[in-house]
Amino acid sequence: MAKQTEVQELLNELVATYGVFNIKLYQHHFYVKGPHFFKLHETFEELYDGVTEQFDELAERLIAVGGKPYATLGEFLEHSLVKEAPYDGKETAEEMVASTVSDYRIIGDKLAKGIVLTGEAGDDATQDLLIGYKSGVDKTVWMLQAYLGKDPLDA
């Protein structure tokens, strides 16, 4: 029973994190500027569409395993691993991409821990979901790092 509670807590932390991260991606989508505007505007939209879908799946999975997902902005902000940052008009497109990489890495680390936890809990369905998300995070980090002229594992 303790592992089931830990899985519920993990999923809820991910729900909160994906909620905040989704809004940050919208912010970048709204405010990106510069010579790569069209590509980055489109990329941030693709990213928030994917995050929105995963956010919904995480909340639904949490309900399926007996949990109650956070469902208010206050709860998201309180429990998110990713922190919001108001747009101040000074963030460059490259800084937005770097910030997104940083947030994806935070999420990827939590997903990796969740994969181990759900394996220990014998929750194969949740583990499978998290493995798929982790693979996608790794690919997205690689692609965003390539945009920045960096290798996938570079800081």
pLDDT in tens, 82-133: 999 888 888 999 999 999 999 999 999 999 999 999 999 999 999 999 999 9
Name all domains of the chain by residue range, CATH numbers in brackets.
2-147 (1.20.1260.10)
pLDDT band at 74, cuts 50/70/90? very high
- Check pLDDT > 80 for residue 45: yes
pTM exceeding the 0.75 threshold for the entire prediction: yes
d(CA 18, CA 24): 10
pLDDT band at 155, cuts 50/70/90? confident
d(CA 120, CA 137): 22
d(CA 93, CA 37): 8
Q: What is the pLDDT of residue 5?
A: 96
